[in-house]
Amino acid sequence: MSRTVDTWRSHLLTTFSGESDGKPAWVARIAEGDDAGFFGPGSAAWAVHGGIPTLVAGIRALLMQTLHPGAMAGVHDWSRYRDDPLGRLSGTIQWLVTVTFADTAVARAESARVGRFHERVVGRYRDADGVERPYAAGDPELLSWVHVVFTDAFLSCHELWGGGIPGGADAYVREWATAGELVGVDDPPRSEAELRGRLRAFGDAGTLKSDERVAEAVRFIRNPPLRRGMMPAYRVLFAGAVASIPDEYRDLLGLRRSRLPVVWATGIVLGLVGRVLGSRSTSESAARERLARLAVTPPEPGSTRATRRP
């Protein structure tokens, strides 16, 4: 039994981080640095991003991202998700986790890396009205869309399957606005109401669209090239992600909510995965090592200042 658990843990960590021990080079950098970072123990960001529901949130965010034709064009034209899907996944996880747990210098450097990649992502797409338009990954509208759907996904999935959030939903949205600003998002939402309003505004403006590119991406996300033994659990998580998406977006994606109790089943699978991976991520452990080494008092959520203990 122990050997089976170890094998599963190795497979899961390789999927999420690219390394079987869950400690790629970028995790080691989280233990380095000279300050407590943008967040810290007791922050909403640590609570949400350190939780197992992030597995479902990632699926939901990727599905939702496809509905903006500009964002979908960037993925279609530039992403290597078909050839190296796990590489793209681990790259996204690297940025999310680094900004959450690293010190401010490392978080800024990681965000700059993402920004440099975005500089070459340009092209043209047809909007929901069929008008051809130019796009660039650094466009304010596209940056805002990606930030909003990711923040919404992680918040919604944690509310469904996670524990409490220090300071509540507003605290998480407000804290994670910092991450949006690091990658160039202009005036990111800072409350749950503002977040939901920004998301609705995209739909109300007629910006979102479903087409064959969206259908292709959805098919890929539904059946990614994971190890065969992982697929039964993944199918449950995918069904949970679909169930968590509001009806209007689910309809655009061409997806239906299962009649089975998939929200409950997703909770069971997440609980099992949590047992396999352990209660604390390697990234959070690295961050705590840094704090212990520096002997600093973590900043108040939303502040970048930290003080050394006497």
Rounded (10°) angle between helices 231-244 and 54-65: 60
Instruction: State the pairing for strand pair 296-297/122-126.
Output: unpaired
Q: Are 99 and 161 in contact (CB under 8 A)?
A: no
Q: What pLDDT shows up at residue 285?
A: 87
Distance CA 284, CA 261 (A): 32
Structural domain boundaries in the chain? 7-301
Rounded (10°) angle between helices 54-65 and 85-101: 120
Q: What pLDDT shows up at residue 5?
A: 45
pTM of the model: 0.86
Backbone conformation region of residue 154, classed left if phi is above 0, alpha if psi is from -120 to 50, else beta: alpha
- Average model confidence (pLDDT) for the chain? 84
Take residue 53 and report the two structure tokens written for it.
Answer: 């529901």
Q: What pLDDT shows up at residue 280?
A: 67
The sign of the torsion formed by the CA atoms of 88, 134, 154, 103 equals positive
Which residue in 11, 44, 7, 54 sits closest to 231, CA to CA? 11
Q: What pLDDT shows up at residue 231?
A: 86
State the virtual CA torsion across 176, 180, 185, 188 in degrees, nearest 10. 0
Distance CA 114, CA 54 (A): 20
Which residue in 274, 277, 276, 269 sits closest to 240, CA to CA? 269
Distance CA 228, CA 240 (A): 19
Distance CA 41, CA 300 (A): 10
Q: What pLDDT shows up at residue 89?
A: 59
Number of H helices, E strands in the chain: 15, 4
What one-letter code names the amino acid at 250?
Answer: R
What one-letter code names the amino acid at 152?
Answer: D
Q: What residue ranges of the chain have pLDDT lower than 50?
A: 1, 4-6, 8, 11, 17, 20-22, 87, 304-310
Phi, psi of 308 (to 5 degrees): -80, 140
